[in-house]
Amino acid sequence: MSSKSNRLYQMVFVYLCLVAFILVVMPAAATAEYPEKPISYIISFNPGGESDVTARLQESHLEKFLGVPVNVSHKPGGGGAVAWSEFQRTAKPDGYTIIGVNIPHIIGQPMLRKDAGYETNGFELIMWFHFTPNALIVSKESPHKTLEDFLAYAKKNPKAATVGGSGSFSANHLETLRMERAAGVQVTYVPHTGTGPVIPALLGGHLTGAMGYSMLGVQYKDQLRVLAVAADERVESLPDAPTFKELGYDIVGGAFRGVAAPKGTPPEIVAKLANAYSETNKIIAEKQRQLGFVMTYATGKDAYALVDRMKKNYEGILQEIADQKKKQ
């Protein structure tokens, strides 16, 4: 009896070992020059978000181009600030630790928080690989068919129009503030704890509209209507949605996602990484474009120029908020 049950346990044990084995990734062979050991790719947000899903898509292609494993890990918290501050404090500039970065987060947080713990310019930027423009979105059942409808309602009823979005002083929030100024209306921005919770609030009629990312218009095509997109040109996957520019409001903005190395990383290593990311971007472009992303290839000087340009775009509003905060 006992030996029989022992054998059973042995079998179960062997089975569990097999399962564990399946879970372990086989390490790739090492090469002589950089990179010669696995690279740690930190994502400063939760699993399942846009940053994470993109990293998962990139992972296998990066491994192919770099010849070493690329390990994606998460360090969420503080809207990204926890990971970024620790990265700037502790990461070694040897190219084996890299981190996902986002605009406008890395511009806004250091300006508005007393102890964000990091600086906008404290990264060695590798590349900005895609852009998700902001878009003003309403439910399909909303009476507002166009941007003009929406703004007319907002003008007539100050503060009554509620606009949801992800986070405070985020891309969504700042774009809403810019829209208010550009159109001379007053709306109420309602922050949510991510893009996820905005959708049910919009569909359930708890919000008048939402300032979200353009992908939402693609993902929820049957349930949502995009009134205007904050991009220079129409987004490929949303051919019927006009841009704010077409409608006479100079509003261009959204979230850029990219990757950075610690300050002081040798330029040839940064270049090598930039090359791997660019090649990867080309491969995953088709999949991502379908989801509503706009692919970008800003490396080297262009990457820094992009930060400067977006900084200028947001500076006025950020400064205003910072001044208000000081007064309080």
Partner 1 sequence: METFFLALAELADPAIILIVFAGVSAGLFVGAMPGLTATMALAVLLPFTFTLTPLYGLVALGAVYMGAIYGGSFAAILVNTPGTPSSIATAFEGYPLSKQGRALEAISVATVASAIGGIAGVLFLLFLSPPLAKLSLRFGPSEYFWVAMLGLTLIASLSEGSLMKGLLGGAIGMMLGTIGVAPIGGETRFTFGMPVMQGGVEMIVALIGLFVLPELYNMAAQGRTALGEVTVDSKEKASFWSVVVRVFSKPGNLIRSCIIGEIVAIIPGAGGNIANLVAYNEAKRASKHPERFGTGVIDGLVATESSNNVTVAGSMVPLLTLGIPGAPPDAVILGVLLLHGLRPGIELFTTSGVLTYAFIVSMGLAALAMVPVGLLGGRLIYRIIFRTPYYFLVPTIGLATILGTFALRNSISDVIIMLILGTAGYLFKQIGIHPPPIVLGLILGSIAEVGYVQAMLGGAAYNYPILRLFENSLSWVLIVMVVFSAAWPFLMGVYRRMQLRRGSKENEK
Cβ-in-10-Å burial (0-12, 13-18, 19+) of 312 comes to exposed
Q: Enter the tokens of residue 94.
A: 């040897």
User: What is the Cα–Cα distance from 215 to 291, expressed in whole angstroms?
Assistant: 6
Q: Of the ranges 111-119, 176-184, 240-248, 297-305, which one interacts with partner 1 (CB under 8 A)?
A: 111-119
DSSP code at position 243: B
- Contact segment (CB under 8 A) with partner 1 among 158-166, 176-184, 239-247, 256-264 equals 158-166
Cβ 15 to partner 1, closest distance in Å? 7
- Quick one: tokens of 45? 């947000």
Among 38, 67, 69, 78, binds partner 1 (CB under 8 A): 78
By CB neighbour count within 10 A (0-12 exposed, 13-18 middle, 19+ buried), where does 59 fall? Answer: middle
Site size for partner 1, by CB under 8 A? 73
Q: How far is the CB of 84 from partner 1 (least distance, A)?
A: 9
**Contact stretch for partner 1 (CB under 8 A) within 109-117, 120-128, 249-257, 269-277:** 109-117
HSE, side-chain direction, 13 A CA sphere, residue 217: 31
User: 3-state DSSP call for residue 256?
Assistant: strand
Instruction: Give the DSSP H or E segment for 135.
Output: strand 123-139
**Single residue of 189, 213, 244, 293 touching partner 1 by CB under 8 A:** 189
Q: Is 22 in the site for partner 1 (CB under 8 A)?
A: yes
Q: Is 222 in the site for partner 1 (CB under 8 A)?
A: yes
Q: Is 192 in the site for partner 1 (CB under 8 A)?
A: yes
CB of 33 to partner 1, least distance (A): 26
Helix (H) or strand (E) run with residue 138 in it: strand 123-139
Draw the binding track, 50-69, toward partner 1 (x: CB under 8 A; -: no contact): --xx--xx-xx---------
Query: For partner 1, which residue of 35, 41, 68, 85 counts as binding (CB under 8 A)?
Result: 85
Q: 10 vs 250, which CB is nearer to partner 1?
A: 10
Contacts of residue 229, Cβ cutoff 8 Å, sequence gap at least 6: 133, 134, 135, 214, 217, 235, 238, 241, 242, 243, 244
Percentages helix, strand, coil for the chain (3-state, rounded to 5) are 45, 20, 35
Rama region for 167: left / alpha / beta (φ>0; ψ in -120 to 50; rest): left
Position 8 contacts partner 1 (CB under 8 A): yes
CB nearer to partner 1: give 100 or 249: 100
- If binding is defined by CB under 8 A, does position 113 make contact with partner 1? yes
Provide φ and ψ at 315, rounded to 5°: -55, -50
Sole window of 144-152, 193-201, 244-252, 262-270 interacting with partner 1 (rule: CB under 8 A): 193-201
Query: Is 81 one of the binding residues for partner 1 (CB under 8 A)?
Result: yes
**Does 290 sit near partner 1 (CB under 8 A)?**
yes
Return the residue of 190, 247, 285, 295 that touches partner 1, per CB under 8 A: 190
